[in-house]
Structure 1
Amino acid sequence: MLVTVTGGTGFVGAHSIAEIVRKGHRVRLLVRDEARVARALAPLGVDRSAAEIVRGDVTAAADVARAVRGAGAVLHAASVYSFDSRDRARVRRTNAPGTAVVLEAAAREGVERIVHVSTVAALFPSRREPLRADSPVGTPRETYMRSKADAERIARDWQDRGAPVVITYPPALLGPHDPRLGDQSARLRALLRGRMPLWPSGGFPLGDVRDTAMLHAALLDHGGDAPGRVFGPSRYLSTRQYVAAVRAVTGRALPAVFLPARAMLPAGLATDLVQRACPWHLPAEYGAIYTCACATRVADDAGTGGFEPRPVKETVADAVRWLRSAGLLTARQAGRLARSAPASEHAAAGKGNR
């Protein structure tokens, strides 16, 4: 089967492609910059020749139409995932508009299997806890989260119209081989570099990118038998538990002070204002603090496609090993993991469900 993938040079997209190719499918990528393809896929053991390339933009109807033509399935993973205030314009013009273009093109083409990659944050804040597949779309007060909530409404509208759309809700994701050093990988790096001494209370669902990738590949295979809405495998962690896990795998003390999340929101807004004029990334973003303040647990019996999340410490350790092997951490910053073998190219993401 030919699978068209948007966002294939990103963290989720690249790992999902590796699983899709492993299952024997052909892949076509819609990308703006062809040079990014090899950088994203080669570390995962996917040869550049395994992917057909269509150059274009996810918000351009003609480009998307070319990309989905003749495809048996579409994985829409393209979005700008950033809490950086400098990226807000890109977030607004890409996430919801791109979803509208891709889902309409796929539906018009008669694609049999369409997977829209949402995020659990599209359901925040929620009046109903824990989260389930029928939880309403959130109304968040943050640009990225609001853009994904808007995209979620578009995807649900296509479901209501009978289109074969499956929506997945990945949690915050870590793991090896992040092509663009996304939000979670960058935050882990900042913690290990001593740039995260203050943490908000609250927490967030955390998962491994490899587990979500396996879920996506499985949903494409299930076709019409796939459920309509599926949560990515995850575990809810408080921020204290997250920092404790990083301390445990690295053997480092990592001093941290935990403050009430809502009391930190004004500081996050101030940081976002300063960030607009600052050339260096500041980790204390409003969006990250806001997420911790309003994140909700996913119900234990909520659908995850039969996939169990791998242990948090395994995920964190593999992410730290990769950051070290990529030259993004010093040996001292990686702690005891600097002396262990780097993460495997697609660490036994495994055969079958974990």
Structure 2
Amino acid sequence: MLVCVTGGTGFVGAHSVAALLRAGCQVRLLVRDKAAVGPALRPLGVEPDEVEICAGDICDEPAVSAAVRGADAVLHAASVYSFDSRRAAEMRRVNLLGTETVLDAALRADVGRIVYVSSIVAMYPAANRVLDARTPVGRPRDVYMATKAAADEVARGYQEVAAPVFITYPPALLGPHDPHRGDQTSRLRYALRGLTPIWPTGGFPVGDVRDTAELHAAVITEPRPESDRLFGPGRHLTTRQYMRTVRRVTGRRLPSAHLPGKAMLPLGRMVDGLQKAWPWHIPAEYGAIYTCACDCRVAADAPTQGVAARPVEETFTDTVRWLHAGGQLTDRQAGAALAGRD
């Protein structure tokens, strides 16, 4: 089976490529920069010559059409995941226009199975704060979340006309080997460096990127997916539980204060406005606060294609060890997570 993957040099995409290869698939990547393939895949045990590489942008229809031609399946994992207000235009272009371009090209090429990687936040805010395959697309007030919701509507529109489109909803993802040290990895690093001592109350589902990658491989390769809307395995953590988990795996005290999430939303708006003029990233974005204030969880019986979530302590420990090994955390910051390292 030949699978065309977009976003294969990103966090979810790279791990999904490795999982697809382990499942016996051939993989073709559509990437903007061929030089990024090696750094993203080699840490996962994949050499660039193990995949076919096409250069192109996901918003360029001819490039996308060429990449999906002849593929048995498409995994559309390309996305800009950021709560940084400075990237709003980029998110609107990539997350919405890119999804429209890829799904349209895949359907015109008569691809047998198309998997779009959405996000749980596309359903935020949910009326009962519980998400499952029947939850409607939300109307979130953050730019990133709104672009994912709009793209989700595009994918669901194809489902309504019986197109072979499947949607996955990953939670907030951690794990080793994040090629771009994305939002969640950076948030954990900020916490370990003592830069985020104040947290909103509420919480969010957290999962391991390796489990979501296994979900993608299963949805693409197994004959009968459990549902046309599936959830990346994970567990809901309140922000207090999140910090307690960080303390357990590092053995550090890491004091934190927790203020009402809704009360912190004006602060998030102010930070977003300031961020547009401030050259360095401020780790207190409106979207992150809003996510916690919405405090949604995934239903216990939500479809995951039989992929179970690994223990959150394992995920946090492996992420901290990887950050330390890359020189992004000191011995003191990583703490007890370094015990038993190779």
TM-score by length of 2: 0.98
8 Å contact kept, 1:212–1:232: yes
8 Å contact kept, 2:21–2:27: yes
Q: Which residue of 2 aligns with 1:73?
A: 73
Please state how far the C-alpha of 1:339 moved relative to its aligned partner.
4.0
8 Å contact kept, 1:324–1:334: yes
Please state how far the C-alpha of 1:264 moved relative to its aligned partner.
0.6
Pair 1:7 & 2:7 matched: yes
Please state how far the C-alpha of 1:281 moved relative to its aligned partner.
1.4
Task: Kindly report which structure 2 residues correspond to 1:74-89, keeping only aligned pairs within 5 A, or say none.
Answer: 74-89=74-89
Q: Which residue of 1 aligns with 2:124?
A: 124
CA separation of 1:230/1:205 partners in 2, compared to 1, >3 Å: closer, same or farther?
A: same
Task: Kindly report which structure 2 residues correspond to 1:194-233, keeping only aligned pairs within 5 A, or say none.
Answer: 194-223=194-223, 225-233=225-233
For residues 275 and 247 of structure 1, what CA distance do their matches in structure 2 show? 30
8 Å contact kept, 1:131–1:296: yes
Q: Secondary structure at the match of 1:173?
A: strand
Pair 1:169 & 2:169 matched: yes
For residues 235 and 305 of structure 1, what CA distance do their matches in structure 2 show? 16
8 Å contact kept, 1:112–1:223: no
Q: Secondary structure at the match of 2:246?
A: helix
Pair 1:101 & 2:98 matched: no
CA separation of 1:224/1:165 partners in 2, compared to 1, >3 Å: closer, same or farther?
A: farther
Equivalent residue letter for 1:288: A
Equivalent residue letter for 1:181: R
Residue-by-residue CA offset, 1:134-168 (whole Å, 9 max, x unaligned): 11000000000000000000000011111101100
Please state how far the C-alpha of 1:223 moved relative to its aligned partner.
4.5
Equivalent residue letter for 2:185: S
Residue-by-residue CA offset, 1:104-130 (whole Å, 9 max, x unaligned): 111110100111000001000011342
8 Å contact kept, 2:321–2:338: yes
Task: Kindly report which structure 2 residues correspond to 1:19-98, keeping only aligned pairs within 5 A, or say none.
Answer: 19-98=19-98
CA separation of 1:147/1:221 partners in 2, compared to 1, >3 Å: closer, same or farther?
A: same
8 Å contact kept, 2:129–2:295: no
Please state how far the C-alpha of 1:336 moved relative to its aligned partner.
1.4
For residues 339 and 172 of structure 1, what CA distance do their matches in structure 2 show? 26
TM-score by length of 1: 0.95
Q: Which residue of 2 aligns with 1:280?
A: 280
Please state how far the C-alpha of 1:224 moved relative to its aligned partner.
5.0
8 Å contact kept, 1:59–1:97: yes
Structure 1: 4+ residue segments shifted above 4 A: 223-226
Q: Which residue of 2 aligns with 1:324?
A: 324
Please state how far the C-alpha of 1:295 moved relative to its aligned partner.
3.0
Q: Which residue of 1 aligns with 2:270?
A: 270
8 Å contact kept, 1:124–1:295: no
Q: Which residue of 2 aligns with 1:351?
A: none
Q: Which residue of 2 aligns with 1:152?
A: 152
Equivalent residue letter for 1:22: R
For residues 99 and 159 of structure 1, what CA distance do their matches in structure 2 show? 14
For residues 55 and 125 of structure 1, what CA distance do their matches in structure 2 show? 37
Q: Which residue of 2 aligns with 1:247?
A: 247
Pair 1:114 & 2:135 matched: no
For residues 282 and 212 of structure 1, what CA distance do their matches in structure 2 show? 28
Equivalent residue letter for 1:100: E
Q: How many correspondences in the alignment?
A: 342
CA separation of 1:60/1:295 partners in 2, compared to 1, >3 Å: closer, same or farther?
A: farther
For residues 240 and 213 of structure 2, what CA distance do their matches in structure 1 show? 27
Equivalent residue letter for 2:191: L
Task: Kindly report which structure 2 residues correspond to 1:315-354, keeping only aligned pairs within 5 A, or say none.
Answer: 315-341=315-341
For residues 17 and 50 of structure 2, what CA distance do their matches in structure 1 show? 10
Residue-by-residue CA offset, 1:285-312 (whole Å, 9 max, x unaligned): 1100000011311111111111111011
Where structure 2 has 5 or more consecutive residues not aligned to the other structure, the ranges are none
For residues 295 and 26 of structure 1, what CA distance do their matches in structure 2 show? 39
Please state how far the C-alpha of 1:340 moved relative to its aligned partner.
3.3
Equivalent residue letter for 1:122: A
Q: Which residue of 2 aligns with 1:306?
A: 306
For residues 180 and 198 of structure 1, what CA distance do their matches in structure 2 show? 25
Pair 1:137 & 2:137 matched: yes
For residues 129 and 105 of structure 1, what CA distance do their matches in structure 2 show? 35
Q: Which residue of 2 aligns with 1:184?
A: 184
Q: Secondary structure at the match of 2:227?
A: coil
Equivalent residue letter for 2:247: R
Q: Secondary structure at the match of 2:297?
A: coil
